[in-house]
A and B are shown apart, each in its own frame.
Chain A
Amino acid sequence: MSANPLTKAEFELAGNAVSIRHFTRRFGETTVLRNLNLDIAPGEFVALLGHSGSGKSTLLRALAGLDTVEEGQIDRPSAVSVVFQEHRLLPWKNVTDNVTLGLDGKEWNAQAEAILHEVGLGHRLEAWPLTLSGGEAQRAALARALIREPKLLMLDEPFAALDALTRLRMQKLVLDLWKRHDCAVLLVTHDVDEALALADRALVLERGEIRTEVEIPLTRPRRHADPVFEALRERLLHALGVTS
């Protein structure tokens, strides 16, 4: 109608990787997400905190395109990837074939090999998923997400099932990958320390809305002993209803 060359979606995104406006999600009578607004800048690392059942995964599913958006508007890049709490590797395909799942053409194999080396799985290219350790499987899932060069990478409690040591190692890996691949990241986590160690910004989802938003202006790698870190942590814990 007008001479504006931008499509509606591009206009709404206006420099953001993700833009959510007035998004509401109901399951029958219960409203899980209510009139939610959220912008994520390109290359920004955002952590999403919240109690169990607060709707974190629901928001992620909508962003991933697994749910139809009925109320409100979600604009997101077409290249998005998700890593779930469980690795969700196909047990009947070896690691490389899992990483290239859905990508046609032999040329992807070299790509998969490179990215598997990058996540530290270069020695298990041909392995069956059932023979991988929990951490290795999650690395393969990360490789599968990254080979598509997503503009937005979503991680739904990807390390929750891992032991503390492996989790620390995976956090460092995610930071490295994020810097190298230059994508926006939305990390869902229960762990306040994890959010503070990784993200540029932490959000707390509560009763269907983002009630608390905390910028984390610290340089990485971050030290837990840092007084700023301590203060932010108090704020987030307080927002989550944990008082010490």
Chain B
Amino acid sequence: MVELVMNLFPARTASHQLSLSIGGLLRFCRRYLSVALVLVLWQAGAQAGLIPSRLLASPVQIVHTAWSLTLDHTLPQNLLVSLGRAGAGLVLGIAVGVALALVAGLSRVGEDIVDAPMQMARTLPALALVPLFILWFGIGELPKILLVALGVKFPVYLNLYKGIRSIDPKLIELAKTLGLSRWKIIRDIIIPGALPDLLVGIRFAVGISWLMLVVAEQVNADSGIGHMMMDAEDFLRTDIILVGLAVYAVLGLLSDQIVRLAEGRLLTWRGRTAVQGGTR
């Protein structure tokens, strides 16, 4: 506990903080400088004819294509479909992961029944199940949503389970001296105590949901960002493929940011904390 508190409130002198922020600014500039440099070189190379557009469209071309795809509604429509699938899969996967973690975390019997199979199953690459899912559930929306849910379930389960198990038994003991019922112990101590780990799990889950979706949509789909990219491949439209990639990148960044925001809101009691580790 003492260690935790020290981690949360590192003693910082003013000068230390100052040099940190200047250093941070410099690093920030350097990071984006290199990105900008690559883009400029890329554009220059394309214009000089060094990079054939058949293999790689230029940045300007990509922006242009993205704009026209937006105007003819191709991009927004496919984006909506993809978002719907990712969202549905996330909700389902988080629900299943939370339920399983609660069962395994709150009872010894549940632990024996749930945890061992989950630990085994998580070593299985979920993507290897794509052919089986197509066989079982066809090529509609269901296999895609289930595939996302499957991938999402593991980080949610593993982190929440770990969170529940690492709750300080002294707090539970205290609750007993105060006469709290089992239900109140779960509500007031176990759930809030495991919340930080659950949120770490959800952050991983969001990243995985996009990964699963990319594969699911590229293997079999007639809509969605992944399908739009596969379609473009047939016509050698590298610009559209790159637009798709950029969209995935933006979605990934945005969703990660949203979860971090939620963390900040839900975990105000921790103050400012360092990034926590987690289990994928």
**Chain A residues within 8 Å of B, Cβ to Cβ:** 64-66, 80-82, 84, 86, 88, 90-94, 101-102, 128-131, 144, 148
A-B contact pairs, 14 of them (CB 8 A): A64-B177, A66-B177, A86-B170, A90-B171, A90-B189, A90-B192, A91-B269, A91-B270, A92-B267, A101-B175, A101-B180, A128-B268, A128-B271, A130-B9
In the complex, the 7 A-B pairs of residues with the closest C-beta atoms, listed nearest first: A92-B192, A88-B174, A102-B178, A128-B269, A102-B180, A82-B177, A92-B269
**Distance of A92 from chain B, by nearest CB (Å):** 4
Q: Is B193 in contact with chain A by the CB < 8 A criterion? A: yes
Contact check: which of A91, A101, A131 meets B188 at CB < 8 Å? A101
Q: Let me know if A84 and B170 touch, CB within 8 A.
A: yes
A244 to B63, CA, bound (A): 87
Would B1 and A86 count as touching, CB distance under 8 A? yes
Chain A residues contacting B173 (CB-CB under 8 Å) are 66, 88
Bound together, the chains give a CA A64 to CA B179 distance in angstroms of 10
Q: Considering the complex, which residues of chain B in the window 175-219 have a beta carbon less than 8 Å from any beta carbon of chain A?
A: 175-180, 184, 188-189, 192-193, 195
The answer to whether B188 touches A93 (Cβ under 8 A) is yes
B180 touches A88 (CB 8 A): no
Asked if A130 and B178 sit within 8 Å, CB to CB, the answer is: no
Query: Which residues of chain A are near B269, meaning CB under 8 Å?
Result: 91-94, 128-130
In the complex, which residues of chain A have a beta carbon less than 8 angstroms from the beta carbon of B192? 90, 92-93
Q: Please give me the residue from chain A that is nearest to B178 by CB atom.
A: A102
CB distance from B194 to the nearest CB of A (A): 10
> What B residues does A64 contact at CB under 8 A?
177
Least CB distance from A197 to B in Å reads 26
**Chain A residues within an 8 Å CB radius of B11:** none
A130 near B176 with CB under 8 A, answer no
- Please report whether the interface of chain A is mostly helix, strand, loop or mixed according to DSSP: loop
* Separation of A132 and B48 alpha carbons in the complex (Å): 64
B50 adjacent to chain A (CB < 8 Å): no
CB of A154, distance to nearest CB on chain B (Å):
9
Provide the residues of chain B in CB contact with A148, threshold 8 Å: 178
Is there a chain A Cβ closer than 8 Å to B5's Cβ?
yes
- In the complex, the chain A residue whose C-beta lies closest to that of B9 is A130
How far, in angstroms, from A31 to B203 measured CA to CA in the complex?
50
Contact B177 A92 (CB under 8 A): no
Closest residue of chain A to B181 (Cβ to Cβ) is A102
- Measured in the bound complex, the distance between the Cα atoms of B168 and A84 in whole Å is 14
The distance from the CB of B21 to the nearest CB of chain A, in whole angstroms, is 23
Which A-chain residue is minimally distant from B192 (CB atoms)? A92
CB neighbours (8 Å) of B174 from chain A are 82, 84, 88
How many Å from the CB of B29 to the closest CB on chain A?
34
A88 touches B195 (CB 8 A): no
Using Cβ atoms and an 8 Å threshold, which residues of chain A touch B193? Answer: 90, 92
Q: Which residues of A contact B36 (CB under 8 A)?
A: none
Shortest Cβ distance from A128 into B: residue: B269
A64-B188 Cα distance, complex, nearest whole Å: 21
Contact of A102 among B5, B184, B195, B271 (CB under 8 A): B184
B179 neighbours in A (Cβ, 8 Å): 102
Assuming A92-B192, A130-B270, A131-B271, is B171 touching A65 (CB within 8 A)? no
Among residues of B, the one whose C-beta sits closest to the C-beta of A141 is B174
Contact among B9, B188, B267, B271 for A90, CB-based, below 8 A: B188
In the assembled complex, B8 has its CB within 8 A of some CB on chain A = yes
**Could you tell me the distance in whole angstroms from the C-beta of B24 to the nearest C-beta in chain A?**
25
Between B177, B179, B195, the greatest number of chain A beta carbons within 10 A of the residue's beta carbon is seen for: B177
In the complex, the chain A residue whose C-beta lies closest to that of B266 is A92
Q: Is the CB of A81 within 8 A of B270?
A: no
Q: How far is the CA of A43 from the CA of B54 in the complex (A)?
A: 90
B1 vs chain A, min Cβ distance (A):
6
B7 to chain A, nearest CB (A): 10
Q: Which residues of B contact A93 (CB under 8 A)?
A: 188, 192, 269
Nearest neighbor of A104 in chain B, beta-carbon distance:
B184
A81→B189 contact, CB < 8 A: no
Whether the Cβ atoms of B8 and A130 lie closer than 8 Å is yes
Contact of B171 among A80, A88, A131 (CB under 8 A): A88
Q: How far is the CA of A64 from the CA of B173 in the complex (A)?
A: 10
A210 to B29, CA, bound (A): 70
Among A66, A82, A102, A148, the most chain B Cβ lie within 10 Å of the Cβ of A102
A-chain residues with CB within 8 Å of residue B8 when the two chains form the complex: 130
A132 to B2 Cα, complex, angstroms:
12
Inter-subunit contact A65/B271 (CB<8 Å): no
Max chain B CB contacts within 10 Å: which of A81, A84, A101? A101
